[in-house]
Amino acid sequence: MKIGLEIHFQLKGSKLFCSCSTEGTKKDLYFQRKMTPTMSELGKIDRAAEYENIRNRNFTYYVSDNSCLVEADEEPPHDPDMENIKTAIIISLALHCNVVDYISFMRKIVIDGSNTSGFQRTGIIGMDGYIETSKGKVRISTVTLEEDAARKLSNREDHVDYSLDRLGIPLVEISTEPDIVDENHAIETAKKIGFIVMSLNNFRREVDSIRQDVNFSMGFGRVEIKGVSKLSMIRETIKYEVKRQLSLQKASEIINERGNIHISDFINVDNIFVNTTSNMIKKAFAGNKNVFAAKLENLNGLLKKGDFRLGKELADVTKNLGIGGLMHSDEFPGYGISETELNAIYDLLNKGANDAVILVLTNADTKNSLKNMISERLNKIINMSLEETRAAMESGETRYLRPLPGKERMYPETDTELIEIEDNLINSLMKNIPESMDIVISKLKNKYGLSGVESDALLNNNLYYTFMDMVNVYEIPKTIARILLQDIPEYERKYGIKLGNEKVLKVLHIAHNNKWERNTIEKALEILSTGKVNINELEFMEELKTLDYDSINDIVRKLIINENINEKNIIPEFRKQTKESFNPGTVMEIYKKLKRSI
């Protein structure tokens, strides 16, 4: 098993090839396009572009308040933003890459509608680096800087809507060699690479600002799994892909034993369903669609039985063609189709014991393309030639998207000049290289006294620099770690209000000036989380005033008279006696001292 990663990070500020902001929202203005593949300089059409052309989709682009004529492809790109280039160089240096002498942006053909121009601009910044992991070095093949794609809004049968707010946002892509040995190693590698980028000030800290693609091979060809949105999903995605490919290998062996496959022509079987009770088929007829049936020789029991799921592999093809669904004989009887209707179809197609039958609800224009694409897909599976691009799903599963793109999709960008990277620029950026994840974890443990669990949690939740800012205000690291990892998440869940770092920092400034203990800070943050109190009122609230030593001593002395007071209940009983804040440690200290003196 070989695994590699391609990790994409958005940068904030201005877009890569214009001065529009990276932040914006969709407007009601729109325009429409249709994409056509073109030949590369090699005189060939990229196979992924060819596949998209078969899908024959139309695209609508909604203009955003952070887009201009560059995003609409009505104006040439401006000079690339130098701050974004500097950031990509810093990342390259942190990953021990060799920075290129000249940046030459290339055009990468993409006609799925995600770029209005039909291509994506991308330039290599660094090459041949590495990152240290617990299982050895993982080589970094390239660090590139490219423009992000448009954001998909909706996807109908033959039409996709996009927003231009994301198109052109600078995107750093870090690609590793296939040096990753398993799913846990993949997560570790992604974390370490991610920490470097997220340490930089202009990393765009939004929900969709990081995307991971996983390159995976079990010896049957490279599978590129796109859009793994969470680190935790890397593990599930790889596990699923291992299970899927092993299942396909078994299915391939069975098919070859049976004598290979053949897919018949799709036959219109509308007449069989004239009086059908199937709601799905009646709905298709109402939408002016037809029912087509085809026989798949030697596939009976392999479309959906046990671990076999070839039906899902074929359904992915129909979905990509805009066909709502695919029904097959391993699921029949089902979908409201009667035994009489099934027998009529089986007789018409001369179905044998080892054969399967599929039904699709579509129009006549797509049936020929569908047969070719299903036949091609089945042949690849039978020959275990599984190289392709797949999409990661939230469930951890993957689904077929398109063939893997080839070298034919790349050609030089003619609208931008070469950018020379001089030594003095690289030298000036050396001081900005962030510390590695291993160094930071060591610092959190040794300098700030945090546990390994606390240190990992701060990094995994991208809270390290927030932690550092807060420790500089309130110099008790353990308290800050508790506030960030436990208190704030708890209050957000409880009251549904996000405080934001600025408000928390202001509370910590008040705590520092008034010598508040952790207990008082937590109470102040919870009060603020209710949304009922202005932050400027906190300092003067009666319940946030802190009891001094003598006042605590008096309350504890009174409580000790009660014989039921012990070390386990002294703190909750003390809380019942006062609304003011106090240090639980001081209460316990006084309690033990007084008990010894009795």
Provide the whole-model pTM: 0.82
Contact 108, 150 (CB under 8 A): no
Mean pLDDT of 473-499: 93
Q: Residue 570 belongs to what domain range?
A: 549-597
pLDDT band at 409 (very low <50, low <70, confident <90, very high): confident
* pLDDT reported for residue 410: 78
The CATH number of residue 356's host domain is 3.30.1360.30
Instruction: Give the integer Cα–Cα distance in Å for 509 and 488.
Output: 17
**Phi/psi at 413 (nearest 5 deg)?**
-80, 120
**Residue at token pair 């932040």:** 23
More confident residue, 157 or 437: 437
Based on the domain organization, do 561 and 533 belong to the same domain? no
Total residue length of the chain: 598
Which of 277, 279, 273 minimizes the C-alpha distance to 291? Answer: 273
* pLDDT reported for residue 147: 95
pLDDT band at 38 (very low <50, low <70, confident <90, very high): confident
Based on the domain organization, do 56 and 192 belong to the same domain? yes
Contact 173, 6 (CB under 8 A): yes
**Residue at token pair 């600002």:** 209
* pLDDT reported for residue 42: 66
Q: Give the number of other Cβ atoms within 10 Å of residue 435's Cβ.
A: 15
Contact 392, 325 (CB under 8 A): no
Q: Is residue 588 part of a domain?
A: yes
Instruction: Specify the number of domains making up the chain.
Output: 4
Based on the domain organization, do 34 and 180 belong to the same domain? yes
Cα torsion angle, 385, 387, 389, 391, sign: positive
Based on the domain organization, do 102 and 6 belong to the same domain? yes
Mean pLDDT of 586-597: 85
Q: What residues does 103 pair with on adjacent strands?
A: 419
Based on the domain organization, do 480 and 555 belong to the same domain? no
Based on the domain organization, do 341 and 463 belong to the same domain? no
Q: Is residue 241 part of a domain?
A: no
Based on the domain organization, do 74 and 182 belong to the same domain? yes
Q: Is residue 420 part of a domain?
A: no
Least confident of 54-68, 181-195, 287-301, 575-589: 575-589
Tell me: the pLDDT tens digits for 223-249?
999 999 888 899 999 999 999 999 999
Q: What residues does 9 pair with on adjacent strands?
A: 172, 210
Based on the domain organization, do 330 and 290 belong to the same domain? yes
Based on the domain organization, do 185 and 212 belong to the same domain? yes
**Residue at token pair 């074929």:** 314
Contact 63, 57 (CB under 8 A): no
Residue 350, burial from CB neighbour count under 10 angstroms (0-12, 13-18, 19+): exposed
Based on the domain organization, do 493 and 531 belong to the same domain? yes
**Residue at token pair 């809004």:** 153
Instruction: Give the integer Cα–Cα distance in Å for 583 and 594.
Output: 17
Instruction: Give the integer Cα–Cα distance in Å for 9 and 172.
Output: 5
More confident residue, 418 or 537: 418
Based on the domain organization, do 470 and 556 belong to the same domain? no
Torsion on CA atoms 195, 197, 202, 203, rounded to nearest 10:
-70
Q: Is residue 293 part of a domain?
A: yes
Tell me: the pLDDT tens digits for 321-354?
878 678 999 998 888 999 999 999 999 999 999 9
Based on the domain organization, do 560 and 535 belong to the same domain? no
Name residues whose C-beta falls within 8 Å of residue 466's C-beta, 6 or more positions apart in sequence: 484, 501
Q: Is residue 237 part of a domain?
A: no
Tell me: the pLDDT tens digits for 258-270?
988 899 999 999 9
Q: Is residue 140 part of a domain?
A: yes
pLDDT band at 586 (very low <50, low <70, confident <90, very high): confident
Q: Is residue 492 part of a domain?
A: yes
- Both tokens of residue 463? 């809270």
Q: Is residue 359 part of a domain?
A: yes
